[in-house]
Amino acid sequence: MTLARNDIARFTDMYGDSDTSIRQFFGPGRVNLIGEHIDYNGGLVMPAAISLGITATCRPRRDRIIHFASAGEPLVTTVQLDELIEPDCTRGWGNYPAGIVRELLVRDVPLQGTDVLFTTTLPQGAGLSSSAAIEVLTAFLLLTLAGNTAVDLKMVALLCQTAENTFIGVNSGIMDQFSVALGKHHCALLLDCGSLEYQYVPVRLGDCTLLIMDTRKARRLTDSKYNERRTECDRVIALLGTRAPPQGLAHAEWNDVASCVEDPVLLRRARHVITEQARVTQAVRELAEGNLLAFGQLLNESHASLRDDYEVSGFHLDTIVAAAQEAPGCLGARMTGAGFGGCALALVRSGSVDAFTQQVRSRYIEATGLEPAFYAVQTSDGVHEVTGASSGSTSSRTCCFFL
């Protein structure tokens, strides 16, 4: 990745003339291949950082003020480093970076005044973790500008999750921040969300392509039933009593759940978690052996479980996934991320991508009236500083900072 000259020009238009201390950082989005609603249940997930993401162009200031601006938006968030920072709904997306500043200050990390301009290529409200991207990016750039040469990325992921939980009010798990911080080009992360141990799994898709399908049905986690699902899982754990596995519900035995839980809704929630966990383990094996048909089948089963047992898909996601599963060259498809709108994922024979997108697009428009967007997944490294020769060609646009 090279320096984005357009963003530097925008930055100097906004904050004043150019000098050599301007630096750029990139925070990728993420797509979760399989293991949905598993992270906060202590299980295994398989996300990958992607090349769509957020770029921050920034420069230190001499005072104790941080400005966060977003290309194409009038709103600029101003944070005073010597004042207590509280959530403020008039700040809009600015609460995400403001929450990170607060979290760093609470930990006595010395920070300096900074001007920041964000630009993004992540589609809006699409479940590709734009909030984790801006959180991790903000923490990384502030720590780097403060002189840290080897930023502890695991610590950054945990700090950002705390900010999301306490400052934003979404009780999210660790998957998104972890993949944005520690992703690796050509790889997915196989992350054990209980122990935070992880390994990189090469994404080898042979003659297939992974396509992200954006339903364009925007969603906000804070508006959704995300926190409700977490509470339901906690209730199952409470009912399991001494049979509750210490690592979380993902490790529970189905027989134990069936004998301790009567509520049919809670039973379905637990069944999703336990079967999804088994699918992740199997997906790792199938991918390693190049069994793409079997991997695709697991994607289909994951979607059915999220739709019927966990009930987090909804009309738009179900429509696009059903259209995908019947389209030419498709080996499997499922919603990805928290659900309730946003994106789905399809594994498609590369030679059929055009026919596939044509058919899915027309069926989806017919059913919903919305025009979907398609992106071939390209993996990326996690958060990093952008160096190298400058380039004028970034396709950046207005930031959108909800997941």
What is the C-alpha separation between 83 and 194, in angstroms, rounded? 35
Looking at residue 309, the DSSP 8-state letter turns out to be T
Q: Which is nearer to ligand GLA, 79 or 160 (CB)?
A: 160
Query: Which residue in 176, 214, 256, 318 is the catalytic one?
Result: 176
Helices 153-163 and 175-182, packing angle to 10 deg = 150
> Minimum distance from CB of 249 to ligand GLA (Å)?
13
The helix (run of H) or strand (run of E) holding residue 232 is helix 226-240
What single letter denotes the amino acid at residue 49? A
For this structure, is 17 an active site residue?
A: no
Total binding residues toward ligand GLA, as defined by CB under 6 A: 12
Of the listed pieces 139-147, 170-178, 237-245, 266-274, which binds ligand GLA according to CB under 6 A?
170-178
The helix (run of H) or strand (run of E) holding residue 47 is strand 47-60
> Minimum distance from CB of 335 to ligand GLA (Å)?
10
What is the C-alpha separation between 173 and 193, in angstroms, rounded? 8
Of the listed pieces 73-81, 172-180, 303-311, 383-391, which binds ligand GLA according to CB under 6 A?
172-180
Q: What is the largest CA-CA distance in the chain?
A: 68
Give ∠ CA 194-197-201 in degrees, rounded to 5.
120
Of the listed pieces 114-122, 169-177, 326-334, 355-363, which binds ligand GLA according to CB under 6 A?
169-177
Binding to ligand GLA, residues 24-43 (CB under 6 A):
32, 36-37, 39-40
What single letter denotes the amino acid at residue 198? Y
Q: Which is nearer to ligand GLA, 50 or 66 (CB)?
A: 50
Q: Which is nearer to ligand GLA, 53 or 173 (CB)?
A: 173
Binding to ligand GLA, residues 331-350 (CB under 6 A):
337-338
Using CB under 6 A as the binding rule, whether residue 191 contacts ligand GLA is answered as no
Using CB under 6 A as the binding rule, whether residue 276 contacts ligand GLA is answered as no
Q: Which is nearer to ligand GLA, 3 or 48 (CB)?
A: 48
What is the C-alpha separation between 160 and 139, in angstroms, rounded? 8
Handedness of CA 304, 131, 192, 253 (dihedral sign): negative
Q: In this structure, are residues 348 and 355 in contact, taking their beta carbons and an 8 Å threshold?
A: no
| CA distance to 48, 131, 389, per residue, from 28 (Å) | 10, 11, 20
> Minimum distance from CB of 239 to ligand GLA (Å)?
21
With CB under 6 A as the contact rule, the residue among 24, 172, 297, 319 that binds ligand GLA is 172
Using CB under 6 A as the binding rule, whether residue 402 contacts ligand GLA is answered as no
Using CB under 6 A as the binding rule, whether residue 173 contacts ligand GLA is answered as yes
> Minimum distance from CB of 348 to ligand GLA (Å)?
22
Query: In 10 A of CB 29, how many CB atoms?
Result: 32
> Minimum distance from CB of 324 to ligand GLA (Å)?
19
Handedness of CA 56, 62, 65, 69 (dihedral sign): negative
CB neighbour list of residue 234: distance below 8 Å, 6 or more residues apart: none
Using CB under 6 A as the binding rule, whether residue 272 contacts ligand GLA is answered as no
The helix (run of H) or strand (run of E) holding residue 188 is strand 187-192
Q: Which is nearer to ligand GLA, 94 or 342 (CB)?
A: 342
The helix (run of H) or strand (run of E) holding residue 23 is strand 23-32
Using CB under 6 A as the binding rule, whether residue 178 contacts ligand GLA is answered as no
With CB under 6 A as the contact rule, the residue among 175, 244, 298, 333 that binds ligand GLA is 175
Q: Which is nearer to ligand GLA, 39 or 103 (CB)?
A: 39
What is the C-alpha separation between 372 and 249, in angstroms, rounded? 35
With CB under 6 A as the contact rule, the residue among 103, 115, 135, 176 that binds ligand GLA is 176
Judged by DSSP in three states, 210 sits in: strand
Q: Which is nearer to ligand GLA, 181 or 403 (CB)?
A: 403
Using CB under 6 A as the binding rule, whether residue 134 contacts ligand GLA is answered as no
Residues identified as active-site:
176
Interface residue list for ligand GLA (CB under 6 A): 32, 36-37, 39-40, 172-173, 175-176, 337-338, 403
